[in-house]
Structure 1
């Protein structure tokens, strides 16, 4: 009887999982494996979400007769070790684009070749694979989004992989409770998302995209899908999301995700080096200002609200992400790398391609065709949080300030601001 291993990475689902589907189709027995790499620092937000994803995945596998083997260590060494133990002829995994993921794939390729084990990498992390479309003018990837969007729309999507009905384990192989390997996880903030494929599908089913184009920037309304964390961990495939929602404004956001994945695939230094040739980087150093920004104490309410949402929930509304990032780089003049690292540390949906791609876009060092663009945080606040509800939700010090006056507390008359313990602006507020 033939045995194969499925190495789960950022594809923690049983539905539309090409790697799992291929392994089940090619082998009589399949061993699902997840390896927690101790070399990757995981914030409690993400550790809790990951544990919930793995517990949900394990339950889905067990319902089909399988189980999830969870180990801690080097993913390559553990996968090859398990393959030897069960006599597996091959390993299936999903291809990815980060430097870490591609290094892991190269090491796994070499290790499998040395052991005489077949390795197959499958699509599924993006809708259109990096390199599937290339500009007619030359180059290995698109540097500007709009022409990529036009080319992306012309690609015929792959067929969605069937969900396996049964998964047979080799004799003697048993799964494990993810918490026995990951260790205890902190209690979730009541507003934090719960991980797992079942929750991803519930959110996808309940999401109404009809008003998305007009409402997705509404900060207090929070009319976004909240699917970003599930896409990052692969609890739902982006292709399944696109085919279910069928709303152009929303699908365009999925295309942005693919866009940055193809950028990172070709420019692995995206997290550390300016993407745009000739970008001017004259960042100043101010640890006090950087700490104030991280802590949501800049004195600009819309910025502080976003940063406090991030700290409390491991999530930040996308419009707030742009406002807070622009304030750090364009108003405070601080290095985008420090801001991106802070987001990467706290976000549950922290994705190398999207996080660093978007930060470089905001900072003017990346793919923005208008690198000197800046967001005025006060005008943004008055447009996307007109009554101040988003600010009051995350800044209790300003709960007693009514209406849009909450966005400019330094202008309050009667000494009201003096009665609350709220930070004064770090720099003169923009007008």
Structure 2
């Protein structure tokens, strides 16, 4: 008797090293499915640039499946309802899906399990699909997760890892399912086309030519190839984090080791969120902050009009590309939370709306880290944007690219502190004066944090 499995793609949009697809492919017939979940659409997550990127990922996935004899079925609505309906139509014996860390994913999985119970269809949930290690693969004694990265990383390096899953060679759709028309995506507007094909091309170039210099260039704001820019592909699962770690680990260079360490940070945040799902919205470690309410300051930060060039450059890069250099994320995040003293949740929401790699675990936990409410062991540190600019954009090329009003200033000292040229020159340049005095703002933050608990 023949068997049919459904593979539900969520953010694992690839055929290489996809344990969900590989396990489902063991059945006689396979139905590859992606559901445009109405609950996600309602949050604004799948809109604009991210929706275009997703469409490109799905079109590429469909093409890879067709090469193997299948095709991607797309539905819209409630995921549990749509999967259960198709499971009934094709008499599926099992549904395969990847585990995830967010509260949303946990609720979705529970609803799916309930919907399939009445269909007598098994739900198979696969760990370590989005990450190198599953969330609970390594734990400290007496706790369910690591709250500090360094001891986590020590355990992570030597932990057992699953075997890389081979891409299926041949797949067959159930006879009762008509093959859909091939998916077509509109052309990319981001300069970062979505899909596994593009992801693997970029990863190959990065691992062949660039990764060995990562440790010396990853903080250089102006370096076009100082970082991999693979994060959107990792978020949508066009790339396997395990494959990247395995391939980078064979190089045995300082740059490759530093790159692998960043992927360990990604796993670290995943296991924190999996253990504490509420930390996506609540302080992981409360500091008693009475965040300011200043809509005008928040808007200036969002629009890159704070009058602090390196901060404005980062925010304008985000708006233009849907991506931001990691050092700029730290600088802009510190400026919002510790200089403007505005709630980290406002910053996290803005990033989540605009970032192609807007991953709940990494976005929220990085914001908590920089705000000092998360896992940072130095919660009161303040990143001075002027010193950050001098160190990581010493020639001013990053600011010149993203703040064209200042591009004609030759001296980096003027470029990073244009207000010292005087109000008349600022007006001539068409650039705003700083919305905050950095020293006074630092004092305000320190005074407010002193009121919090355990400080």
Do both proteins adopt the same fold according to a TM-score greater than 0.5, normalized to the shorter chain? yes
| 5+ residue gaps, structure 2 | 250-255, 441-455
Match status 1:195 vs 2:197: no
Match status 1:28 vs 2:14: no
Residue by residue over 1:240-293, the C-alpha shift from the partner in whole angstroms, topping out at 9 and shown as x without a partner, is 1111122210111000000000000011111211101x4221211100000000
2: CA distance, partners of 1:176 / 1:387? 52
- Residue 77 of structure 1 aligns to a residue whose secondary structure is helix
Task: Tell me the residue number matched to 1:38.
Answer: 38
- Residue 265 of structure 1 aligns to a residue whose secondary structure is helix
Match status 1:225 vs 2:228: yes
Deviation at 1:412, TM superposition (A): 2.2
Root mean square deviation of aligned Cα: 1.5
Task: Tell me the residue number matched to 2:18.
Answer: 17
Match status 1:318 vs 2:326: yes
- Residue 299 of structure 1 aligns to a residue whose secondary structure is coil
Deviation at 1:363, TM superposition (A): 0.4
CA contact (8 A) 1:378 1:430 kept: no
CA contact (8 A) 2:9 2:33 kept: yes
Match status 1:398 vs 2:402: no
Task: Tell me the residue number matched to 1:271.
Answer: 280
Equivalent residue runs for 1:360-399 within 5 Å: 360-399=368-407
CA contact (8 A) 1:6 1:93 kept: yes
- Residue 278 of structure 2 aligns to a residue whose secondary structure is coil
Deviation at 1:38, TM superposition (A): 2.1
2: CA distance, partners of 1:351 / 1:132? 20
Task: Tell me the residue number matched to 1:354.
Answer: 362
Task: Tell me the residue number matched to 1:427.
Answer: 436
Residue by residue over 1:12-71, the C-alpha shift from the partner in whole angstroms, topping out at 9 and shown as x without a partner, is 00000001000111x101000000012212231110110000000000000110000001
1: CA distance, partners of 2:31 / 2:432? 54
Residue by residue over 1:347-397, the C-alpha shift from the partner in whole angstroms, topping out at 9 and shown as x without a partner, is 010000000000000001000011001100010011101111111111111
Task: Tell me the residue number matched to 1:248.
Answer: 257
1: CA distance, partners of 2:67 / 2:411? 52
CA contact (8 A) 2:113 2:123 kept: yes
Deviation at 1:411, TM superposition (A): 1.3
2: CA distance, partners of 1:331 / 1:339? 13
Among 234, 237, 240, the alignment partner of 2:237 is: 234
Deviation at 1:188, TM superposition (A): 4.1
1: CA distance, partners of 2:408 / 2:437? 24
2: CA distance, partners of 1:414 / 1:169? 68
1: CA distance, partners of 2:153 / 2:244? 17
Judge which range, 215-224 or 404-413, deviates more. Answer: 404-413
Structure 1 segments (4+ residues) deviating >4 Å: 176-179
Equivalent residue runs for 1:22-421 within 5 Å: 22-25=23-26, 27-40=27-40, 41=44, 42-123=46-127, 124-136=129-141, 138-173=142-177, 174-178=179-183, 188-189=188-189, 192-207=191-206, 208-222=210-224, 223-246=226-249, 247-276=256-285, 278-404=286-412, 405-412=414-421, 415-421=424-430
- Residue 162 of structure 2 aligns to a residue whose secondary structure is coil
Judge which range, 38-47 or 118-127, deviates more. Answer: 38-47
2: CA distance, partners of 1:145 / 1:230? 24
TM-score, structure 1 normalization? 0.95
| 5+ residue gaps, structure 1 | none
Q: Per the alignment, do residues 2 and 35 of structure 1 end up closer, same or farther by CA in structure 2, a change over 3 Å counting? A: same
- Residue 247 of structure 2 aligns to a residue whose secondary structure is helix
Residue by residue over 1:222-244, the C-alpha shift from the partner in whole angstroms, topping out at 9 and shown as x without a partner, is 31011100110000110011111
TM-score, structure 2 normalization? 0.90
